[in-house]
Structure 1
Amino acid sequence: MKRSTLRLAAAIGLATALAAPAFAADTLQTIRERGKIICGTSPGVAGFSLQDANGRWEGFDTDICRALAAIIFNDTEKAAFVPLTSKDRLIALQAGEIDVLPRTTTWTLARNAGQGVTFTAVNYYDGQGFMVTKKLGVTSAAQLGGASICVAQGTTSELNLADYFRKLGAEYEPAAFSTSEEAMKAYEAGRCDAYTTDVSALSAVKMKLQAPDAHVILPEIISKEPLGPWVRTGDETWFNLVRWTVFALVNAEELGITKANLQEMLKSPNPEIKRFLGRDGKMGEAMGVSNDWVVRVIAAVGNYGESFERHLGAKSRLHLARGPNELWSRGGIQYSPPFR
């Protein structure tokens, strides 16, 4: 082989090695050897991820992590949670400090390209809004020209805010804070006229204010915020397992399989249900887990609708409507690819 060819091969090998993200080789095996899965979470957003009185993490996002722990260990308590700020969340994932990031993090091109992280699947369709005090006398976001607005740094909310006022042709005074918690406290203290973030988070924040009824969430939705779990780029097996875990929750609801009727559904002669629950075929083995992996997911956290209602919907303190998160067959856009 000529020296020029050898140099070219070496250069290609070096470039490939440099392009490959660290810690992405075999996440599933690393988790098994460690004996637990480590998940990134928010410091505390009601409905999505919040510690209860006993310090146990609960929420719509943490259900994803507990479902993965059930798949791998058949034990939802083998899930550890690391609270991360908006600025630190993707960095922690890139660095291998966590295995997966099921934390209110919007899917965008800039994040998905060139940062060593990959979005898996949408588990919540959200949008950005504004909250103001009723005494401000504002009924529309279009009336916020000249207002000071609290926002968290390192978020899509910060960028959307700037875009919105550029399109509106109005001035505003940004008041950016390191964390969402700091931004919320500054708003409550009257340091800014409005607070902006995802509408679901605004609903959670409003409950924490000393006088919730003194505040109102304005009707405008100024952005698309598809939220869901992230993984490091370069580990296709782990990516597929996390992605299809989200889809399994949705598909279970589509098929009418719940935590309560799971054992009865395991007896179903329906070929689609048999395949989905691992009684026919070897879809689990193809992803490096047991063929009853979907059964473990449903037994642990129920289906998508059950998780939504428990943490965000009618059975929760937030009482959020399903909206676009309703199944596609019921007027929403939540949709699972076929399990076949």
Structure 2
Amino acid sequence: MDFCRAVAAAALGDPSKVAYVPLRASARFPALMEGMIDLLARNTTWTLRREAALKVQFAGVLFYDTQGFLVRRPGGIQTAAELKGATVCVEKETSTLVHLRDYSADNRLEIMPLEIDSAIEARRAFFAGRCSAYAADSAQLAAVRIEAPDGPQSVQILPERIAKEPLSPAVRGGDQSWLTLVRWVLFALVAAEELGVTRDNLQSRLSEAAIRRALADGDESDRSLGVERGWRVRAVQSVGNYGEMFDRNLGPRTSLKLDRGLNRLWTQGGLMYAPPFR
């Protein structure tokens, strides 16, 4: 949601000009392709099949995630290998389902997926005991864990990570300017963190040449994208840099308590960095 606010600030000059549309996984791409939404920003994995077959375009990795399993504790299951022949809850029409089937086949586990229409219903099915495990993105499992009816200590995420899940905002194919704007809003938030620019110190640091090059210069690109000058500054001013956004929504001081892991800057052992702006 913070990323949507940053895009709205860049494109429309106001981070509050966002209408959020909750969608099931099975409805997200039809909604995007039919113009019901302009930006798909949820836990959606960037894949070749989606870009090639669905004709949607991914702006860049907003969150590097992995796929795992949530199981009940105590339940005897300590590793993914112990799920042989088990029923596993999984959301319908997701990359999670594809990866689950591949992992089961590759490891001869004969896992039986119980396909559920939505994440909420999959969570309920798992807690109701309809399946031995729940397969989803690890960050999503962390959110499910804190809502366990018997408390977070009653469930655990298994140590195995069975697939990469690069989560990316997506737009309809055919609108290059919109794709470019969304993509470079993301890069502006990452670049701000690389440069040590925060929401609080942004204005005082705009006099520095490196900060201007990354966030303030660009009359030509502004005109080509059809936005008012200063769109990168507006994006950072609205939500802070990438690290601030992560910490506020997912980090150790939130209920999810997620470590940044792969989402650290490249200078800190992660995968996040912004391409040059010039």
Question: Which residue number corresponds to residue 35 of structure 1?
Answer: none
Partner of 1:301: 239
Confirm whether residue 210 of structure 1 aligns to residue 149 of structure 2: yes
Is 1:251 matched up with 2:191? yes
Output one character per residue of 1:152-202: Cα deviation in whole Å (capped at 9) or x when no partner. 100111111111110111212221111111111000011111101000000
Matched, 1:290 2:228: yes
Give the ranges of 4+ consecutive aligned residues of structure 1 lying more than 6 Å apart after TM superposition: none
CA distance in 1, matches of 2:75, 2:230: 55
Is the CA contact (8 Å cut-off) linking 1:283 and 1:291 kept in structure 2? no
How many Å separate the matches in 2 of 1:174 and 1:218?
A: 17
Indicate conservation of the 8 Å contact 1:149/1:193, yes or no: yes
The Cα of 1:279 is off from its aligned counterpart by 4.6
1:116 and 2:55 equivalent?
Answer: yes
Amino acid at match of 2:156: V
Matched residue, 2:248: 310
Q: Which letter does structure 1 place at the counterpart of 2:8? A: A
1:145 aligns with 2:80: no
Q: Which has the higher contact order (CA 8 A, sep 6+)?
A: 2
Residue 321 (1) aligns with residue 259 (2) = yes
The amino acid across from 2:137 in the alignment is D
1:164-243 pair list within 5 angstroms: 164-211=103-150, 212-243=152-183
Indicate conservation of the 8 Å contact 1:278/1:284, yes or no: no
SS at match of 2:89: strand
CA drift at 1:282: 4.0
Q: Which amino acid aligns with 1:253?
A: E
1:198-229 per-residue CA deviation (whole Å, 9 max, x = no partner) reads 00000001111112211010000000110010
1:83 and 2:22 are equivalent in the alignment: yes
Is the CA contact 1:67–1:296 (under 8 Å) kept in the aligned structure 2?
Answer: yes
Q: Aligned-residue CA RMSD in angstroms?
A: 1.2
TM-score normalised over the length of structure 1: 0.79
Q: Distance in 1 between matches of 2:167 and 2:269?
A: 19
**Residue ranges of structure 2 left out of the alignment (5+ in a row):** none
Contact 2:59–2:170 (Cα < 8 Å) also in 1: yes
**Cα distance, 1:205–1:185 mapped onto 2, change above 3 Å:** same
Shift of 1:299: 0.9
One-letter code of the match for 2:243? G
The one-letter code sitting in structure 2 at the alignment partner of 1:81 is Y
**285-294 or 131-140, larger mean C-alpha shift:** 285-294
* Alpha-carbon offset, residue 314 of structure 1: 1.9
Counterpart among 77, 93, 116 of residue 32 in structure 2: 93
> C-alpha displacement at 1:64, in angstroms?
1.5
Give the CA deviation at 1:326: 0.4
Give, in angstroms, the shift of residue 250 of structure 1: 0.5
Amino acid in the other structure paired with 1:163: D
Give the TM-score, by structure 2 length: 0.97
Q: Which runs of 5+ in 1 are unaligned?
A: 1-61
Counterpart residue number, 1:56: none
Out of 128, 134, 147, which is 2:67 matched to? Answer: 128
Percentage of identical aligned residues:
47
CA–CA separation in structure 2 for the residues paired with 1:174 and 1:292? 49
Larger Cα-atom Rg: 1
In 2: Cα distance, 1:150 partner to 1:277 partner? 44
